[in-house]
Amino acid sequence: MQENDHEEPYLTIYLSAAGPQQKEIDDYIETKLGHEVIAAAPTAPNATVNIERLEQDTEDCSFAVIVMGDATGNAREQQLHEIGYCQGSFGYENVLVLRKDTAPAFANMTGVMYEVFSGDNIQSTFPRIRAEIDAAIARFASDDEVDED
């Protein structure tokens, strides 16, 4: 049952998370908020970023939720690239990074919208996810009104 009052999704949302967290967030956004989710395909920690796949995955999206866990090394670099790519594509205000409390924020980098969660309690971020998606919808509606003039 959807909590929103519209029949079709307002947004297509890119989701980058792993394991059960991906399913929980996906279910929340699709079932409770009524938006379509495009989930990132899992990648090996030592793989390089596949920009073509990232372009395809985000092609129809206008907002991103990226979960930042305890990744280190190349996997952390992949997260940084993914965040930057989505910010460049959607605007910094349309990318929400859910950061595990044990994962350090990126040093010397401003403009990242974080929501911190503890342990596996990803549900604690749901109110923020909803608030940011609602704010994005309001921004997009406002942009549409300006475009019509």
Q: What is the pLDDT of residues 79-117, one digit of tens each?
A: 888 999 999 999 999 999 999 999 988 887 788 999 999
Helix (H, G, I), strand (E, B) or coil at 88: helix
Q: Would you say residue 65 has pLDDT above 80?
A: yes
Per DSSP, helices labelled H in the chain are 19-27, 51-58, 73-90, 126-148
Could you give the dihedral angle defined by the CA atoms of residues 54, 55, 56 and 61, in that order, rounded to the nearest 10 degrees? Answer: 100
**Res 29 pLDDT > 60:** yes
Angle between helices 73-90 and 51-58 (to 10 degrees): 40
List the domains of the chain with CATH numbers. Answer: 12-148 (3.40.50.2300)
Confidence category of residue 144, pLDDT binned at 50, 70, 90: low
The full length of the chain comes to 149
pTM, full prediction: 0.87
Select from 69, 9, 11 the least CA-distant residue to 42.
69
Which helix or strand (DSSP H or E) is residue 30 part of?
none
